[in-house]
Amino acid sequence: MSRINVSLVLICFFSFIITSHSKSTYTEFDDDDEDATIKTMHQFSGYPPSNPDHYHSLSSLSLLVDSLSLQKQIDELATFSDSPLPAVTRVLYTDMDVAGRRYIKNLMGLAGLSVREDAIGNIFGRWDGYEPELAAVGTGSHTDAIPYSGKYDGVVGVLGAIEAINVLKKAGFKPKRSLEVIMFTSEEPTRFGISCLGSRLLAGSETLEKALMNTFDSQNVSFLDAAKSAGYTRDNDDLSSVLLKNGFYSGFVELHIEQGPILEAEGIPIGVVTAIAAPASIKVDFEGVGGHAGAALMPSRNDAGLAAAELALAVEKHVLDSGSIDTVGTVGILDLHPRAVNSIPSKAHLEIDTRDINETRRNEVVEKIHQSAIDIAKKRRVKLSGFEIVNQDPPALADSNIIKAMEASSSELNLNYKLMVSRAYHDSLFMARVSPMGMIFIPCYKGYSHKPEEYAAPEDLVNGVKVLALTLAKLSLS
Ligand code: GLV
Ligand code: MN
Ligand code: MN
């Protein structure tokens, strides 16, 4: 590729950002550049001429994403799975999770990052900036995978972040603020019922810190024992060390597949996330009276299973009654006891997930579900033995300066983008509590996610990594 001479415009970064929702307007772009994976980094942020140390001659640097190696890594990581490919199952602190962690740490090392882990296994790979005392810029996601899911959810934001660092290194970029890749522990709630466990604790949840001392999985293994078996929680079970010091990160950016159909349907390569929906999760238990499925007469039954079934339908009704497409609700777990075809269920356990962009509306749904559980228990003469709101998190807004940096990066790379909300939750929901936050979405096949058919095309992965790399570069210099 020919080298390009571009005279850098040395003005402050955030006054320099192109905010238009359009392709790049820069005229210096090299039209001879035929390779779609190679674009010149025209527009790293400029610095005031009064500080020559800040000047970077970036005019000839190129963003070269190694698409083949990134795909190979995605495929290799998918083999650490407790279900046969293409389904991926990688649950917190299992052998497969530990193997996946080793794989990630190795890649971080190969990228020249210094690796550290905290007491619950959040993994950090740091590239020191030339002003290392400044707050770092973070990027990352998760690699745990819910049962029978796909190989891209979260993984793209971890492997893609390591590749973004490789890209910047190959380009000769020197970060001012340090850049850190984070692999968060257990974004998925699969094992302990707690979503975004790693980022939630990092972001300073003392309630969670205490709760983890007494949290068990469905096999009655405690969180602390499970963590120990994976080599964590060494410091006498003190988890306070996990909580991030205020201002540790000056910005955090997560790359993720959209997990919805919009970008693909509209043919737009990049989603710039403006907000993340507010998730809540609830556990409900009914206790009735078990008995013989043939002999016990219908009028005298106290069937806990039917109470659960009725509550599941009530969840759907309350969600639909909100009248907004943004309100969603799912009963993802419904367990009956003793689970025999000829036995009336004496106990039923439901786990309910409900979300909305609008927190008040989401809270109203939670309240209605609670009222329905009380009413149904009364009507069916069963006991509502448990109603636990596991989490009821507010939505998060992306930071306007990070949005501008993502928009400018997309434009400079000639990539069309769309401002959009995330209906799925992400570790960024919690990082937003302690750092300005932003998210970059790439399209995925038919919006499929949390199932084996999940797929993102190599060119979309390349685009995402390039926008991430350029955004990190800008934030590092800001
Ligand atoms: C994340 O996995 C979510 O359920 O949104
Ligand atoms: Mn997920
Ligand atoms: Mn995810």
Angstrom distances, CA of residue 343 to CA of 290, 338, 349, 378: 7, 7, 16, 22
Residues in the chain, pLDDT under 70: 1-61, 235
* Residue among 92, 188, 199, 423 whose CB has most ligand 1 atoms within 8 A, to mutate: 188
- Written out in words, the top-level CATH class of the domain with range 62-277+395-477 is alpha beta
Angstrom distances, CA of residue 33 to CA of 30, 37, 45, 62, 310: 6, 10, 22, 11, 61
Cα(424) to centroid(ligand 1), Å: 5
- Dist. CA 267–CA 269, nearest whole Å: 6
Pairing of strands 136-142, 249-257: parallel
Per DSSP, helices labelled H in 256-358 are 262-266, 304-321
* Residue among 256, 273, 425, 448 whose CB has most ligand 1 atoms within 8 A, to mutate: 425
Cα(153) to centroid(ligand 2), Å: 6
Phi, psi for 420 (deg, rounded to 5)? -155, 160
Q: What is the pLDDT of residues 335-361, one digit of tens each?
A: 999 999 999 999 999 999 999 999 999
At which residue do the structure tokens 């400044």 appear? Answer: 134
User: What sign does the dihedral 454-87-188-280 (CA atoms) show?
Assistant: positive
Ligand 1 atom index nearest CA of 153: 2
Burial of 230 (0-12, 13-18, 19+ CB in 10 A): middle
Architecture of domain 280-392: 2-Layer Sandwich (3.30)
Q: What is the pLDDT of residues 369-416, one digit of tens each?
A: 999 999 999 999 999 999 999 999 999 999 999 999 999 999 999 999
pLDDT for residue 139: 98
Specify the 3-state DSSP secondary structure of 63. strand
List the chain domain ranges: 62-277+395-477, 280-392
* Residue among 186, 430, 450 whose CB has most ligand 1 atoms within 8 A, to mutate: 450
Specify the 3-state DSSP secondary structure of 158. helix
Cα(63) to centroid(ligand 2), Å: 29
Nearest CA to ligand 1 atom 2: 188
pLDDT for residue 61: 56
- Dist. CA 367–CA 311, nearest whole Å: 13
List all residues whose CB is within 6 A of at least one atom of ligand 1.
Answer: 188, 424-425
Structure tokens at 119: 């007491």
Q: Closest-lying ligand to the alpha carbon of 428?
A: 3
Reported as half-sphere exposure (CB side, CA atoms, 13 A), residue 132 has a value of 3
Which helix (H) or strand (E) covers residue 459, if one does? helix 458-477
